[in-house]
Protein backbone atom coordinates (compact mmCIF):
# COMPACT_ATOMS: atom_id res chain seq x y z
CA UNK A 1 0.00 0.00 0.00
CA UNK A 2 1.22 3.53 -0.70
CA UNK A 3 1.08 6.00 2.20
CA UNK A 4 -0.12 9.58 1.57
CA UNK A 5 3.42 11.00 1.17
CA UNK A 6 4.27 8.33 -1.33
CA UNK A 7 1.00 8.99 -3.13
CA UNK A 8 1.73 12.73 -3.32
CA UNK A 9 5.22 12.02 -4.68
CA UNK A 10 3.79 9.53 -7.11
CA UNK A 11 1.19 11.93 -8.46
CA UNK A 12 3.70 14.80 -8.64
CA UNK A 13 5.95 12.54 -10.66
CA UNK A 14 3.04 11.65 -12.93
CA UNK A 15 2.39 15.37 -13.41
CA UNK A 16 6.05 15.92 -14.19
CA UNK A 17 5.83 13.26 -16.79
CA UNK A 18 2.73 14.85 -18.30
CA UNK A 19 4.22 18.32 -18.24
CA UNK A 20 7.66 17.38 -19.54
CA UNK A 21 6.58 14.53 -21.81
CA UNK A 22 8.49 15.07 -25.05
CA UNK A 23 6.43 16.04 -28.07
CA UNK A 24 5.85 13.26 -30.58
CA UNK A 25 8.23 13.31 -33.53
CA UNK A 26 5.38 14.38 -35.81
CA UNK A 27 4.62 17.40 -33.63
CA UNK A 28 8.31 18.25 -33.35
CA UNK A 29 8.57 18.24 -37.14
CA UNK A 30 5.55 20.52 -37.51
CA UNK A 31 6.83 22.96 -34.87
CA UNK A 32 10.30 22.91 -36.45
CA UNK A 33 8.83 23.70 -39.88
CA UNK A 34 6.90 26.71 -38.52
CA UNK A 35 9.91 27.97 -36.56
CA UNK A 36 12.14 27.47 -39.61
CA UNK A 37 9.88 29.63 -41.79
CA UNK A 38 9.72 32.35 -39.11
CA UNK A 39 13.48 32.30 -38.59
CA UNK A 40 13.97 32.49 -42.37
CA UNK A 41 11.80 35.61 -42.55
CA UNK A 42 13.78 37.12 -39.66
CA UNK A 43 17.06 36.47 -41.49
CA UNK A 44 15.58 37.91 -44.65
CA UNK A 45 15.32 41.24 -42.82
CA UNK A 46 19.02 41.25 -41.91
CA UNK A 47 20.94 40.48 -45.10
CA UNK A 48 24.67 41.13 -44.99
CA UNK A 49 24.87 41.23 -41.17
CA UNK A 50 27.27 39.00 -39.23
CA UNK A 51 24.25 37.32 -37.66
CA UNK A 52 22.87 36.54 -41.14
CA UNK A 53 26.17 35.08 -42.39
CA UNK A 54 26.79 33.06 -39.24
CA UNK A 55 23.25 31.70 -39.15
CA UNK A 56 23.33 30.81 -42.82
CA UNK A 57 26.57 28.90 -42.31
CA UNK A 58 25.07 26.96 -39.40
CA UNK A 59 21.87 26.26 -41.34
CA UNK A 60 23.85 25.04 -44.36
CA UNK A 61 25.80 22.60 -42.22
CA UNK A 62 22.68 21.28 -40.46
CA UNK A 63 20.70 20.89 -43.70
CA UNK A 64 23.63 19.23 -45.50
CA UNK A 65 23.95 16.68 -42.70
CA UNK A 66 20.25 15.82 -42.85
CA UNK A 67 20.06 15.61 -46.65
CA UNK A 68 23.41 13.80 -46.77
CA UNK A 69 22.18 11.11 -44.37
CA UNK A 70 18.99 10.62 -46.36
CA UNK A 71 20.93 10.35 -49.61
CA UNK A 72 23.38 7.95 -47.99
CA UNK A 73 20.52 5.55 -47.21
CA UNK A 74 18.60 6.05 -50.44
CA UNK A 75 20.33 3.69 -52.87
CA UNK A 76 20.90 0.76 -50.46
CA UNK A 77 17.29 1.18 -49.33
CA UNK A 78 15.86 1.20 -52.85
CA UNK A 79 17.89 -1.84 -53.79
CA UNK A 80 17.06 -3.90 -50.71
CA UNK A 81 13.40 -2.87 -50.51
CA UNK A 82 12.71 -3.80 -54.12
CA UNK A 83 14.59 -7.09 -53.89
CA UNK A 84 12.69 -8.01 -50.72
CA UNK A 85 9.36 -6.63 -51.94
CA UNK A 86 9.53 -8.32 -55.33
CA UNK A 87 10.72 -11.65 -53.99
CA UNK A 88 7.93 -11.72 -51.39
CA UNK A 89 5.30 -10.73 -53.91
CA UNK A 90 6.59 -13.18 -56.50
CA UNK A 91 6.65 -15.95 -53.90
CA UNK A 92 3.03 -15.29 -52.97
CA UNK A 93 2.02 -15.04 -56.66
CA UNK A 94 0.99 -11.38 -56.31
CA UNK A 95 3.72 -9.64 -58.28
CA UNK A 96 1.87 -9.26 -61.54
CA UNK A 97 -1.31 -8.00 -59.84
CA UNK A 98 0.61 -5.49 -57.71
CA UNK A 99 2.51 -4.31 -60.74
CA UNK A 100 -0.68 -3.82 -62.79
CA UNK A 101 -2.58 -1.99 -60.05
CA UNK A 102 0.43 0.26 -59.36
CA UNK A 103 0.72 1.19 -63.02
CA UNK A 104 -3.03 1.76 -63.35
CA UNK A 105 -3.01 4.04 -60.28
CA UNK A 106 0.01 6.01 -61.55
CA UNK A 107 -1.53 6.58 -64.98
CA UNK A 108 -4.96 7.48 -63.55
CA UNK A 109 -3.74 9.99 -60.98
CA UNK A 110 -1.27 11.58 -63.40
CA UNK A 111 -3.97 11.91 -66.08
CA UNK A 112 -6.29 13.59 -63.59
CA UNK A 113 -3.48 15.95 -62.58
CA UNK A 114 -2.82 16.84 -66.23
CA UNK A 115 -6.48 17.53 -66.94
CA UNK A 116 -6.72 19.65 -63.81
CA UNK A 117 -3.59 21.61 -64.72
CA UNK A 118 -4.83 22.40 -68.23
CA UNK A 119 -8.39 23.14 -67.07
CA UNK A 120 -7.30 25.62 -64.41
CA UNK A 121 -4.81 27.31 -66.72
CA UNK A 122 -7.68 27.79 -69.21
CA UNK A 123 -10.16 28.88 -66.61
CA UNK A 124 -7.91 31.56 -65.17
CA UNK A 125 -6.33 32.39 -68.56
CA UNK A 126 -2.85 32.45 -66.99
CA UNK A 127 -0.36 34.58 -68.88
CA UNK A 128 -2.95 36.31 -71.10
CA UNK A 129 -2.40 40.03 -71.33
CA UNK A 130 1.06 39.87 -69.70
CA UNK A 131 3.69 41.71 -71.72
CA UNK A 132 6.26 39.14 -72.84
CA UNK A 133 8.84 41.93 -73.32
CA UNK A 134 9.15 42.03 -69.53
CA UNK A 135 10.99 38.72 -69.79
CA UNK A 136 12.97 39.41 -72.96
CA UNK A 137 16.27 39.94 -71.10
CA UNK A 138 16.02 36.73 -69.12
CA UNK A 139 15.18 34.79 -72.26
CA UNK A 140 17.97 36.20 -74.38
CA UNK A 141 20.55 35.55 -71.65
CA UNK A 142 19.42 31.97 -71.29
CA UNK A 143 21.51 29.44 -73.15
CA UNK A 144 19.31 27.49 -75.49
CA UNK A 145 19.55 23.86 -74.51
CA UNK A 146 19.88 21.06 -77.03
CA UNK A 147 16.64 19.95 -78.57
CA UNK A 148 14.94 17.37 -76.42
CA UNK A 149 12.31 15.49 -78.38
CA UNK A 150 10.24 12.66 -76.90
CA UNK A 151 12.16 10.15 -79.05
CA UNK A 152 15.61 11.38 -77.97
CA UNK A 153 14.34 11.53 -74.41
CA UNK A 154 13.18 7.92 -74.69
CA UNK A 155 16.52 6.80 -76.18
CA UNK A 156 18.40 8.50 -73.31
CA UNK A 157 16.00 6.93 -70.86
CA UNK A 158 16.79 3.41 -72.13
CA UNK A 159 20.51 4.10 -72.39
CA UNK A 160 20.66 5.37 -68.82
CA UNK A 161 18.54 2.60 -67.41
CA UNK A 162 20.06 -0.60 -68.74
CA UNK A 163 23.60 -0.11 -67.51
CA UNK A 164 26.22 -1.74 -65.34
CA UNK A 165 24.49 -2.03 -61.93
CA UNK A 166 27.68 -1.18 -60.04
CA UNK A 167 27.96 2.05 -61.97
CA UNK A 168 24.28 2.75 -61.26
CA UNK A 169 24.72 2.07 -57.55
CA UNK A 170 27.83 4.22 -57.34
CA UNK A 171 26.34 7.11 -59.29
CA UNK A 172 22.98 6.98 -57.53
CA UNK A 173 21.07 6.30 -60.75
CA UNK A 174 17.72 5.48 -59.16
CA UNK A 175 15.93 4.13 -62.20
CA UNK A 176 18.76 1.78 -63.18
CA UNK A 177 18.97 0.50 -59.59
CA UNK A 178 15.20 -0.09 -59.57
CA UNK A 179 15.39 -2.13 -62.78
CA UNK A 180 18.34 -4.23 -61.62
CA UNK A 181 16.70 -4.86 -58.24
CA UNK A 182 13.51 -6.03 -60.00
CA UNK A 183 15.52 -8.63 -61.90
CA UNK A 184 17.36 -9.78 -58.78
CA UNK A 185 14.09 -10.07 -56.82
CA UNK A 186 12.45 -12.23 -59.47
CA UNK A 187 15.60 -14.35 -59.88
CA UNK A 188 15.75 -15.03 -56.14
CA UNK A 189 12.32 -16.60 -56.25
CA UNK A 190 12.85 -18.48 -59.52
CA UNK A 191 16.00 -20.00 -58.04
CA UNK A 192 13.98 -21.29 -55.07
CA UNK A 193 15.71 -23.00 -52.16
CA UNK A 194 19.23 -22.63 -53.53
CA UNK A 195 19.08 -18.84 -52.99
CA UNK A 196 17.49 -18.99 -49.56
CA UNK A 197 20.58 -17.53 -47.87
CA UNK A 198 20.70 -14.50 -50.17
CA UNK A 199 16.98 -13.93 -49.66
CA UNK A 200 17.47 -13.96 -45.90
CA UNK A 201 20.46 -11.71 -46.22
CA UNK A 202 18.45 -9.22 -48.29
CA UNK A 203 15.69 -9.22 -45.66
CA UNK A 204 18.17 -8.55 -42.91
CA UNK A 205 19.90 -5.84 -44.90
CA UNK A 206 16.52 -4.18 -45.48
CA UNK A 207 15.75 -4.35 -41.74
CA UNK A 208 19.11 -2.70 -41.02
CA UNK A 209 18.24 0.13 -43.44
CA UNK A 210 14.86 0.67 -41.77
CA UNK A 211 16.53 0.80 -38.38
CA UNK A 212 18.94 3.44 -39.62
CA UNK A 213 16.11 5.48 -41.13
CA UNK A 214 14.59 5.57 -37.65
CA UNK A 215 17.81 7.18 -36.39
CA UNK A 216 17.89 9.73 -39.21
CA UNK A 217 14.24 10.60 -38.56
CA UNK A 218 15.20 11.76 -35.09
CA UNK A 219 17.21 14.50 -36.81
CA UNK A 220 14.29 15.47 -39.05
CA UNK A 221 13.08 18.42 -36.89
CA UNK A 222 16.55 20.00 -36.96
CA UNK A 223 17.04 19.28 -40.66
CA UNK A 224 13.63 20.65 -41.62
CA UNK A 225 14.14 23.76 -39.50
CA UNK A 226 17.48 24.41 -41.23
CA UNK A 227 16.21 23.69 -44.76
CA UNK A 228 13.18 25.94 -44.50
CA UNK A 229 14.99 28.77 -42.74
CA UNK A 230 17.70 28.68 -45.42
CA UNK A 231 15.15 28.57 -48.24
CA UNK A 232 13.22 31.59 -46.98
CA UNK A 233 16.38 33.52 -46.09
CA UNK A 234 18.06 33.05 -49.46
CA UNK A 235 15.20 32.97 -51.97
CA UNK A 236 13.88 36.25 -53.20
CA UNK A 237 10.26 35.72 -52.27
CA UNK A 238 9.31 38.96 -54.05
CA UNK A 239 10.03 37.37 -57.46
CA UNK A 240 6.79 35.50 -56.93
CA UNK A 241 4.90 38.76 -57.26
CA UNK A 242 6.01 39.26 -60.87
CA UNK A 243 4.41 35.98 -61.81
CA UNK A 244 1.87 36.11 -58.99
CA UNK A 245 -1.16 35.02 -60.96
CA UNK A 246 0.54 31.99 -62.44
CA UNK A 247 2.12 31.06 -59.09
CA UNK A 248 -1.22 31.29 -57.27
CA UNK A 249 -3.14 29.33 -59.91
CA UNK A 250 -0.59 26.54 -60.25
CA UNK A 251 -0.04 26.24 -56.49
CA UNK A 252 -3.76 26.42 -55.76
CA UNK A 253 -4.51 23.72 -58.35
CA UNK A 254 -1.73 21.49 -57.01
CA UNK A 255 -3.09 21.91 -53.48
CA UNK A 256 -6.60 21.09 -54.76
CA UNK A 257 -5.24 17.89 -56.31
CA UNK A 258 -3.52 17.01 -53.02
CA UNK A 259 -6.36 17.95 -50.70
CA UNK A 260 -9.41 16.94 -52.75
CA UNK A 261 -8.69 14.65 -55.72
CA UNK A 262 -6.13 12.29 -54.14
CA UNK A 263 -7.95 12.01 -50.76
CA UNK A 264 -11.19 11.22 -52.60
CA UNK A 265 -9.49 8.44 -54.54
CA UNK A 266 -7.89 7.20 -51.33
CA UNK A 267 -11.24 7.11 -49.59
CA UNK A 268 -13.01 5.42 -52.53
CA UNK A 269 -10.37 2.87 -53.46
CA UNK A 270 -8.13 2.61 -50.41
CA UNK A 271 -11.01 2.80 -47.90
CA UNK A 272 -8.86 5.02 -45.68
CA UNK A 273 -9.93 8.16 -43.91
CA UNK A 274 -7.87 11.04 -45.39
CA UNK A 275 -7.34 12.48 -41.88
CA UNK A 276 -5.69 9.22 -40.81
CA UNK A 277 -3.58 9.39 -43.96
CA UNK A 278 -2.41 12.96 -43.41
CA UNK A 279 -1.67 12.35 -39.73
CA UNK A 280 0.37 9.27 -40.55
CA UNK A 281 2.32 10.84 -43.38
CA UNK A 282 2.97 14.31 -41.94
CA UNK A 283 6.68 13.71 -41.38
CA UNK A 284 7.24 12.67 -45.01
CA UNK A 285 5.08 15.46 -46.45
CA UNK A 286 6.86 18.19 -44.49
CA UNK A 287 10.23 16.72 -45.45
CA UNK A 288 9.16 16.76 -49.12
CA UNK A 289 8.20 20.42 -48.76
CA UNK A 290 11.51 21.31 -47.16
CA UNK A 291 13.78 19.28 -49.45
CA UNK A 292 11.88 19.57 -52.77
CA UNK A 293 13.15 16.09 -53.47
CA UNK A 294 10.96 13.01 -53.54
CA UNK A 295 14.07 10.81 -53.71
CA UNK A 296 15.56 12.30 -50.55
CA UNK A 297 12.15 11.92 -48.87
CA UNK A 298 11.71 8.31 -49.93
CA UNK A 299 13.19 6.69 -46.80
CA UNK A 300 10.68 8.63 -44.70
CA UNK A 301 7.78 7.85 -47.06
CA UNK A 302 8.56 4.17 -46.71
CA UNK A 303 8.70 4.35 -42.93
CA UNK A 304 5.44 6.35 -42.67
CA UNK A 305 3.62 4.00 -45.06
CA UNK A 306 4.72 0.87 -43.22
CA UNK A 307 4.51 2.01 -39.65
CA UNK A 308 1.69 4.55 -39.61
CA UNK A 309 -0.51 3.50 -42.52
CA UNK A 310 0.16 -0.21 -41.91
CA UNK A 311 0.97 -0.94 -45.54
CA UNK A 312 2.60 -4.38 -45.72
CA UNK A 313 6.40 -4.10 -46.15
CA UNK A 314 6.39 -6.05 -49.41
CA UNK A 315 3.87 -3.62 -50.94
CA UNK A 316 5.53 -0.46 -49.61
CA UNK A 317 8.96 -1.83 -50.52
CA UNK A 318 7.88 -2.27 -54.12
CA UNK A 319 5.40 0.54 -54.74
CA UNK A 320 7.11 3.47 -53.02
CA UNK A 321 10.53 3.29 -54.75
CA UNK A 322 8.79 2.71 -58.06
CA UNK A 323 6.34 5.55 -57.45
CA UNK A 324 9.16 7.89 -56.44
CA UNK A 325 10.57 7.45 -59.92
CA UNK A 326 7.45 7.06 -62.03
CA UNK A 327 4.59 8.83 -60.30
CA UNK A 328 4.76 12.62 -60.16
CA UNK A 329 1.32 14.19 -60.22
CA UNK A 330 2.55 17.57 -59.01
CA UNK A 331 5.22 17.73 -61.72
CA UNK A 332 2.80 16.66 -64.49
CA UNK A 333 0.21 19.22 -63.41
CA UNK A 334 2.85 21.94 -63.26
CA UNK A 335 4.27 21.15 -66.69
CA UNK A 336 0.85 21.19 -68.38
CA UNK A 337 -0.16 24.46 -66.75
CA UNK A 338 3.23 26.05 -67.42
CA UNK A 339 3.13 25.13 -71.13
CA UNK A 340 -0.23 26.84 -71.47
CA UNK A 341 1.07 29.84 -69.53
CA UNK A 342 4.01 30.22 -71.91
CA UNK A 343 1.76 29.82 -74.95
CA UNK A 344 -0.59 32.51 -73.64
CA UNK A 345 2.35 34.76 -72.89
CA UNK A 346 3.56 34.40 -76.47
CA UNK A 347 0.05 35.09 -77.72
CA UNK A 348 -0.37 31.60 -79.19
CA UNK A 349 -3.57 29.58 -78.96
CA UNK A 350 -2.84 25.88 -78.64
CA UNK A 351 -5.27 23.69 -80.56
CA UNK A 352 -6.93 20.73 -78.85
CA UNK A 353 -4.50 18.41 -80.64
CA UNK A 354 -1.53 20.42 -79.37
CA UNK A 355 -2.91 20.29 -75.85
CA UNK A 356 -3.14 16.52 -76.10
CA UNK A 357 0.49 16.49 -77.21
CA UNK A 358 1.34 18.63 -74.15
CA UNK A 359 -0.46 16.09 -71.92
CA UNK A 360 1.29 13.10 -73.49
CA UNK A 361 4.72 14.74 -73.30
CA UNK A 362 4.16 15.97 -69.75
CA UNK A 363 3.18 12.41 -68.79
CA UNK A 364 6.43 11.03 -70.28
CA UNK A 365 8.38 13.89 -68.72
CA UNK A 366 7.01 13.19 -65.26
CA UNK A 367 7.81 9.48 -65.67
CA UNK A 368 11.39 10.25 -66.54
CA UNK A 369 12.10 13.17 -64.18
CA UNK A 370 14.33 12.19 -61.27
CA UNK A 371 13.03 13.10 -57.80
CA UNK A 372 15.42 15.98 -57.23
CA UNK A 373 14.87 19.75 -56.90
CA UNK A 374 13.81 21.46 -60.14
CA UNK A 375 14.05 18.26 -62.20
CA UNK A 376 10.72 19.27 -63.72
CA UNK A 377 12.34 22.34 -65.23
CA UNK A 378 14.68 20.20 -67.31
CA UNK A 379 11.97 17.94 -68.64
CA UNK A 380 9.80 21.03 -69.20
CA UNK A 381 12.01 21.81 -72.22
CA UNK A 382 10.68 18.71 -73.94
CA UNK A 383 7.07 19.72 -73.25
CA UNK A 384 7.61 23.21 -74.67
CA UNK A 385 9.42 21.95 -77.75
CA UNK A 386 6.76 19.33 -78.45
CA UNK A 387 4.35 22.09 -79.49
CA UNK A 388 6.91 24.44 -80.98
CA UNK A 389 7.26 26.79 -78.00
CA UNK A 390 10.76 28.23 -77.43
CA UNK A 391 12.84 26.30 -74.90
CA UNK A 392 14.42 29.51 -73.58
CA UNK A 393 11.01 30.44 -72.19
CA UNK A 394 11.87 28.33 -69.13
CA UNK A 395 14.10 31.27 -68.15
CA UNK A 396 10.85 33.04 -67.22
CA UNK A 397 9.92 30.32 -64.77
CA UNK A 398 13.35 29.50 -63.34
CA UNK A 399 13.48 32.29 -60.73
CA UNK A 400 10.31 31.07 -59.04
CA UNK A 401 10.87 27.38 -59.55
CA UNK A 402 12.55 26.53 -56.25
CA UNK A 403 9.58 27.97 -54.39
CA UNK A 404 6.90 26.31 -56.54
CA UNK A 405 8.81 23.03 -56.41
CA UNK A 406 8.07 22.72 -52.67
CA UNK A 407 4.33 22.14 -53.13
CA UNK A 408 4.54 19.94 -56.22
CA UNK A 409 7.06 17.67 -54.49
CA UNK A 410 4.65 17.25 -51.54
CA UNK A 411 1.93 16.08 -53.95
CA UNK A 412 4.39 13.77 -55.74
CA UNK A 413 5.28 12.11 -52.44
CA UNK A 414 1.68 12.04 -51.26
CA UNK A 415 0.67 10.22 -54.46
CA UNK A 416 3.28 7.49 -53.89
CA UNK A 417 2.13 6.77 -50.35
CA UNK A 418 -1.51 6.91 -51.37
CA UNK A 419 -0.98 4.40 -54.17
CA UNK A 420 0.79 2.06 -51.76
CA UNK A 421 -2.35 2.10 -49.56
CA UNK A 422 -4.67 1.36 -52.49
CA UNK A 423 -2.46 -1.39 -53.92
CA UNK A 424 -2.06 -2.96 -50.48
CA UNK A 425 -5.79 -2.97 -49.92
CA UNK A 426 -6.56 -4.72 -53.20
CA UNK A 427 -3.82 -7.30 -52.83
CA UNK A 428 -4.57 -7.89 -49.15
CA UNK A 429 -8.12 -8.82 -50.16
CA UNK A 430 -6.55 -11.21 -52.67
CA UNK A 431 -4.51 -12.82 -49.96
CA UNK A 432 -7.55 -13.27 -47.74
CA UNK A 433 -9.54 -14.78 -50.62
CA UNK A 434 -6.71 -17.16 -51.48
CA UNK A 435 -6.35 -18.25 -47.87
CA UNK A 436 -10.07 -18.86 -47.27
Contact residues toward ligand ASP (CB under 6 A) are 292-294, 328, 331, 369, 371-376, 405, 408-409, 412
By beta-carbon proximity to ligand ASP, the closer residue of 31 and 112 is 112
Distance in Å, CB of 26 to ligand ASP, minimum: 22
Distance in Å, CB of 326 to ligand ASP, minimum: 11
Distance in Å, CB of 117 to ligand ASP, minimum: 12
By beta-carbon proximity to ligand ASP, the closer residue of 88 and 292 is 292
Residues in the chain: 436
Residue, CB closest to ligand ASP: 376
Distance in Å, CB of 272 to ligand ASP, minimum: 23
By beta-carbon proximity to ligand ASP, the closer residue of 126 and 369 is 369
Distance in Å, CB of 288 to ligand ASP, minimum: 7
How many other CB atoms are there within 10 angstroms of residue 17's CB atom? 9
By beta-carbon proximity to ligand ASP, the closer residue of 185 and 258 is 258
Cα(327)–Cα(323) distance, integer angstroms: 5
How many other CB atoms are there within 10 angstroms of residue 255's CB atom? 14
Distance in Å, CB of 320 to ligand ASP, minimum: 13
By beta-carbon proximity to ligand ASP, the closer residue of 335 and 424 is 335
Amino acid sequence: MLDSAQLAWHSAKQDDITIYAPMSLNTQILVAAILGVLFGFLLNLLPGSAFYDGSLYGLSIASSIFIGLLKMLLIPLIFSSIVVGVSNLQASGQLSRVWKITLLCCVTTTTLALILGLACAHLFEVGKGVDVRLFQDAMSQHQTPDTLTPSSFFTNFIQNTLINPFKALAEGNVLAVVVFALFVGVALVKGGEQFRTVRRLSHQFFDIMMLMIGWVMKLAPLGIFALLAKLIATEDVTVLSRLAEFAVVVTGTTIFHGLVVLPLLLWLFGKMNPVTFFKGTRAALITAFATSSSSATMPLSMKCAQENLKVRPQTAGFVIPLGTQLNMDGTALYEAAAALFIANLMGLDLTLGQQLVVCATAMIASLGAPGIPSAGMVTMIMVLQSVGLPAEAIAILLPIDRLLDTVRTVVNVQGDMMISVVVDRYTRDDEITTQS
